[in-house]
Structure 1
Amino acid sequence: MTPERTPSAIDALADDFVTQLAPLDPFGATALGLPGYDHDVTLYSPAAMEQRIDLVRRTLAALEDTPTIDEIDDVTKAAMRERMSLELATYESGWDFADLNVLASPLQGMRDVFDIARTATVEDWTNIASRLGRLPQSVDSYIELLRHGAAQGRVPALRQVNEGVKQAREIADPETSFFVSFVASADAQAVVSQAPNAGELSTQLSEAALQAAAAYGRLADFLDSELALQAPTDDAVGRERYELASQLFLGARIDLDETYEWGLEELARIVAEQQATAEELYGPGTSIDEAVQRLDEDERYLLHGTDALKAWMQETSDQAITDLSGTHFDIPEPVRTLECMIAPTQNGGIYYTPPSDDFSRPGRMWWSVPPGVTTFNTWREKTTVYHEGVPGHHLQLGQTVYQRAHLNSWRRLMCWVSGHGEGWALYAERLMEELGYLNDPADRLGMLDGQRLRAARVVLDIGVHLKKPCPEEWGGGIWDADKAHRFLSANVNMPAEFVQFELNRYLGWPGQAPAYKVGQRLWESIRDNARTRAHDNGEEFDIAAFHARALALGSVGLDVLKEALDH
């Protein structure tokens, strides 16, 4: 850590942006851990969106007129210019008005914000009651947004609309609604019972939950009876839209055609490495599928029940933090706490949420366990713990939040570039292999399984959305959803439901899925350039110092990262 610095005019501008955005996006404020907005909701109407975009425009204009005083300012200015210019370009393309997909759109965000809500006190549940009561406004504003987009010819693909209907119907059903079960849980009622007006608050929560569920019912009806009638059946978004989305997720311009060819080569290389590892495990001639089947039946790598899963996640994570702290990384004390959680959702995802600004909410690794799943294979997921925890997302994001001494609040809390973050997490998986944490060939096969999926996503995502020629092995002709499904099924060891969900995700969120593997590629290129410079200068390359310097920058676009580390 560098000594605390006096905030600059650039810092003041960045901090002011965060302060002004918070009341315009209360859900985002909650995600950042900013107090004072947990009772309110984000609105998605065109007018509300224009308010947020106007703030971006004004900040970007002021940024150009504000001088920098040091290298930290230089990076801040470059990062803000890069992020905000792309945000404006995306808005001006009109596709923000068609923001609907199966994983990361307002449909999910309006529900998911309650996963990170504070729930320890009566005040917390009073805020939740208020937010739930206002949620119908948020839902109705989202309908207004999508209706406006449709009027401008911006409509999400039919596949995304139909899946959105299913998700909204599930949330709307009082028997299955998350909102209803959330406020009726034993944990919730135990806190609410301590309120002076316990009965009134309990009733308010129950009524608000039903109102929120009913609002999702209106959303489902709108999607089903109105938007679906206007939705295109073609999943591909085309080159122009894809190039913008790719740059937004990577913070870098790449040659999409070269990257597609690289994806095919990288996939073949990983499959060959998997084959060699399968034979290392069980002898010459053993296929990858045979090795996977045997590992899945091996009790040494089996956990039974979510309690055992949670304990294993925590133990594995804690051990990595203990081992790496002070050796390969300087991990500040608050960042050494990572909570491993079983998520309240049941969609099968594994994800990370960063700590709040003051670390009162620690970084958390979440495992969303599908209904009926009671056994878990550690050989598949040890690398995932490193990806989501340390040295992956938790180290990266936790350290960024911690750097209050010299990073402003926009750099610490708000700036997130998928290619930087997810690329680092994949880079971290390979790093743990290099450090000997995946010496068991079973764990290494699990890491390769994940890397194979990420390489396949580069091929699939670019191939389908740019309508590139499909290799004969996967059907020939031009890539489409059916060929993509066969291709994905052949390259992942996952249940059919997961494969379909993942495919739907890629088709509705163009450019995001490749950011993982392409981000890893760019991270490795930046590291290799740093190593070459050190050798050219007659110096020994210090990889620990490289990591410290890189992580100290926070999450920035990968072009900005490269420029900052090249000096």
Structure 2
Amino acid sequence: MDKKFNAALTGASMLLALGAAVSLPLQATAADKPAAAARAERPGPADARFKAIYTQEWKWRQSQKLEEGEDDDDSGVDTSLPRIDAATQKQRLDYWLAVMKKLDGISEKQLSAGEKVNYQVYKAQIAALIAAQQFREFEKPLNADSAFWSNLASGARRPLTTEKQLRDYLKQLADMPRYFNDEIVNMRAGLARGFTPPKVTLVGRDSSITSVTEAKSAQDTVYYFPFKTMPASMPAAQQEALRAEAVKAIETSVLPSYRKLLQFMREEYVPHAREALAAESLPDGKAYYQSKIVEFTTTSMSADQIHQIGLSEMAKIRAEMHDVIKQVAFEGDLPAFLQFLRTDPRFYARTPEELLMRSAWVAKKFDGKVSQYFGYLPRRRFAVIPVPDDQAPFYTSGRGGPGVYLVNTYNLPSRALYSVPALTLHESAPGHAFQMPVAMEQKGRPAFRNAYISAFGEGWALYSERLGVEMGMYETPYEIFGMLSYQAWRASRLVVDTGIHSKGWTRKQAQDYLHENTALSEHEIETEVDRYISWPGQALSYYLGEMSIIAARRKAEAALGTKFDIRAFHDTVLQLGSVPLPVLEARIDTFIADGGKSPYPQLD
């Protein structure tokens, strides 16, 4: 199945969010520093030991089918699905613990400047993998936003172009009963110890299962998609033979797996899922929630600290919102203005095509301004496509990644047009569909550096929304307010996530807070709150990441004065790829010390 499409579609749920508290000071690697400085580096024995560790581990990790494909030329299809049984999970924990022991035996001071950041990123990555195994997160392979079966269905939408790919895909389908059974065994183990998403976030989520089980025929399931259009060069008889094999595989492997899963979900899992919302109510909950804070923010801040930051930032954003209300001469307070925005039909598309076209228009408008703010442009383009029908009812408003910008056209009265510019900047360009390809195109960097760190990636995407103001991307005060509402949405997550998982907030309290402080529709508020409830910590990435990037930019502007070049700053940030926030901050210190030079001298 298409790993790249799958990664983009399921977003953070399929992207490995990495992180740990990172000590300063740090230096940039050879790939992250200007070329002249990179040439002067001289690797030593510690570099060789470190490279041997990560090279061997990465090869092993790929053999475990744990990583999303990042190579644009990788068009292969796995002939089987990952091994996920408890014994395999224990072996993985033991393996990564051994890797960490080896890393602890390397003195960071002995590493060349070209490997120090790699070491910090990699060690944080291994720490996150160990924590996930120790808390047995594989026993909870679903949340309100996505699940293992919907991830598989997403990958099935990939066109396959060779007979080998199609036959390998058929072998993968044949492995589905084993894979689904292992997932059910793991989920049953989680259920026995109270390690499940809260029951309230699972209601109705079986629609993504019934979209397969209730299909009129095998040909109507998503898993038949690759066989609908096959290469014209393939003989007709061969095409028909493959289609017949596909129908048989779906009828004998896919449909029985889905039916067994549906019965398990309806009769066993959902009825007995935990009632409590807080992550801190899970087994070893305080430590578990703190591990998620570390993973998703790459800091060691406490829940209380983050909660207070959220409250403070919300107050600042509300002041900006009141300025817009005055600008449009609205007679009423903030709640009245929010109600006006939620209900006036002028702000909503009448057809899915209108929403898609507006999104595409914003993306193309960015293309006319990009050269003023970025020197290096990624080669990878992206498509604007709707979220698939089976996922759309519970999916977020949009999601982007390499090659794709997904727009949710379900329930159009909940998709405000004044929010489209901010959403598009975040998910497409210069957000996720821009930042990720830039990182992937950097040369001389180990493959593990392509893994996604949420605090950086989501922080950059949210910064992109703010950047839209100075880029002139917002044409009306209402669109400015849409951007502010999105800023408030992310800042309020700091309050809501910590409120739910550490302070005993109810689902209604969280919904009310978003209702009072953002212009999000009721449908979006419900789906977003359920996402935060079932996915502890992830919502903290965005605003804290944006704050770090803004602080780094202000520091560089103050230090460099007239030498500050916004294009060089942005290129420096994006060239790093996903890194823990302290690594980013240290790189900007180097950027300042180097006089604000571009990391791409050839573009000067």
TM tier relative to shorter chain: 0.7 to 0.9
Aligned partners of 2:194 and 2:274 also within 8 Å: no
1:461 & 1:396 partners in 2: Cα distance? 26
2:71 & 2:277 partners in 1: Cα distance? 31
Q: Choose the corresponding residue for 2:479, options 428, 440, 443.
A: 443
Matches within 5 A, 1:389-408: 389-403=428-442, 405-408=443-446
Check if 1:75 corresponds to 2:120. Answer: no
Q: Choose the corresponding residue for 1:312, options 347, 358, 362.
A: 358
Q: Secondary structure at the match of 1:438?
A: coil
Larger CA deviation: 153-162 vs 88-97: 153-162
* Matching residue's letter, 1:368: N
**Shift in Å at residue 28 of structure 1?**
3.0
Aligned partners of 1:419 and 1:518 also within 8 Å: yes
Matches within 5 A, 1:333-344: 334-335=379-380, 337-344=381-388
Matches within 5 A, 1:514-525: 514-525=540-551
Partner of 2:536: 510
* Runs of 5+ unmatched residues, structure 1: 356-362, 468-477
Check if 1:331 corresponds to 2:376. Answer: yes
**Shift in Å at residue 428 of structure 1?**
1.1
Aligned partners of 2:297 and 2:454 also within 8 Å: yes
Q: Choose the corresponding residue for 1:100, options 138, 142, 146.
A: 142
**Shift in Å at residue 426 of structure 1?**
0.6
**Shift in Å at residue 61 of structure 1?**
4.0
**Shift in Å at residue 79 of structure 1?**
0.5
Matches within 5 A, 1:330-479: 330-332=375-377, 334-335=379-380, 337-345=381-389, 346-347=392-393, 348-355=395-402, 363-370=403-410, 373=412, 377-403=416-442, 405-411=443-449, 413=450, 415-467=451-503, 479=505
2:423 & 2:191 partners in 1: Cα distance? 39
Matches within 5 A, 1:188-207: 188-191=227-230, 194-195=234-235, 196-207=237-248
Q: Secondary structure at the match of 1:242?
A: helix
Higher relative contact order (CA 8 A, sep 6+): 2
Aligned partners of 2:145 and 2:396 also within 8 Å: no
* Matching residue's letter, 1:449: S
* Matching residue's letter, 1:384: L
How high is the TM-score relative to the length of structure 2?
Answer: 0.79
Q: Secondary structure at the match of 1:235?
A: coil
Q: Secondary structure at the match of 2:379?
A: helix
- Coordinate RMSD, CA, aligned: 3.4
Partner of 2:258: 216
Q: Choose the corresponding residue for 1:25, options 45, 60, 65.
A: 65
**Shift in Å at residue 63 of structure 1?**
4.0
Partner of 1:90: 132
Check if 1:145 corresponds to 2:189. Answer: no
Q: Choose the corresponding residue for 1:172, options 213, 224, 229.
A: 213
Over 3 Å counting, the alpha-carbon distance change for 1:249 and 1:107 in structure 2 is: farther
Q: Choose the corresponding residue for 2:323, options 276, 291, 294.
A: 276
Partner of 2:222: 182
Check if 1:550 corresponds to 2:550. Answer: no
1:174 & 1:447 partners in 2: Cα distance? 40
Matches within 5 A, 1:57-68: 57-64=97-104
Aligned partners of 1:328 and 1:544 also within 8 Å: yes
Q: Secondary structure at the match of 1:191?
A: coil
Q: Secondary structure at the match of 1:28?
A: coil
Q: Secondary structure at the match of 2:383?
A: strand
1:31 & 1:462 partners in 2: Cα distance? 37
Aligned partners of 1:274 and 1:288 also within 8 Å: no
Q: Which string of whole-angstrom CA distances, capped at 9 and with x for unpartnered residues, describes residues 518-559 of structure 1?
A: 221222233334445546xxx744443222222111101223
Aligned partners of 1:83 and 1:251 also within 8 Å: no
**Shift in Å at residue 303 of structure 1?**
4.5
**Shift in Å at residue 506 of structure 1?**
0.9
Over 3 Å counting, the alpha-carbon distance change for 1:72 and 1:169 in structure 2 is: farther
**Shift in Å at residue 510 of structure 1?**
0.6
Over 3 Å counting, the alpha-carbon distance change for 1:307 and 1:19 in structure 2 is: farther
Q: Secondary structure at the match of 1:60?
A: helix
Over 3 Å counting, the alpha-carbon distance change for 1:255 and 1:563 in structure 2 is: farther
Aligned partners of 1:102 and 1:504 also within 8 Å: yes
* Matching residue's letter, 1:338: F
Check if 1:47 corresponds to 2:70. Answer: no
Aligned partners of 1:295 and 1:442 also within 8 Å: no
Over 3 Å counting, the alpha-carbon distance change for 1:204 and 1:463 in structure 2 is: same
Q: Which string of whole-angstrom CA distances, capped at 9 and with x for unpartnered residues, describes residues 283-333 of structure 1?
A: 45475644774697575x6644333433333332133134213x3112335
Aligned partners of 1:260 and 1:459 also within 8 Å: yes
How high is the TM-score relative to the length of structure 1?
Answer: 0.83
Over 3 Å counting, the alpha-carbon distance change for 1:227 and 1:283 in structure 2 is: closer
2:574 & 2:200 partners in 1: Cα distance? 38
* Runs of 5+ unmatched residues, structure 2: 1-30, 281-285, 591-604
Partner of 2:26: none
Matches within 5 A, 1:212-291: 212-228=254-270, 230-238=272-280, 239-283=286-330, 285=332, 287=334, 289-290=336-337
Over 3 Å counting, the alpha-carbon distance change for 1:374 and 1:63 in structure 2 is: same
Over 3 Å counting, the alpha-carbon distance change for 1:496 and 1:441 in structure 2 is: closer
Over 3 Å counting, the alpha-carbon distance change for 1:122 and 1:448 in structure 2 is: farther
Over 3 Å counting, the alpha-carbon distance change for 1:383 and 1:410 in structure 2 is: same
Matched length: 537
**Shift in Å at residue 96 of structure 1?**
3.7
2:446 & 2:213 partners in 1: Cα distance? 40
Larger CA deviation: 502-511 vs 556-565: 556-565
1:264 & 1:374 partners in 2: Cα distance? 29
Aligned partners of 2:84 and 2:179 also within 8 Å: yes
1:107 & 1:330 partners in 2: Cα distance? 40
Aligned partners of 1:172 and 1:215 also within 8 Å: no
Aligned partners of 2:330 and 2:337 also within 8 Å: no
2:413 & 2:165 partners in 1: Cα distance? 32
2:193 & 2:334 partners in 1: Cα distance? 52
Percent identical: 21
2:498 & 2:565 partners in 1: Cα distance? 36
2:476 & 2:555 partners in 1: Cα distance? 31
Larger CA deviation: 274-283 vs 345-354: 345-354
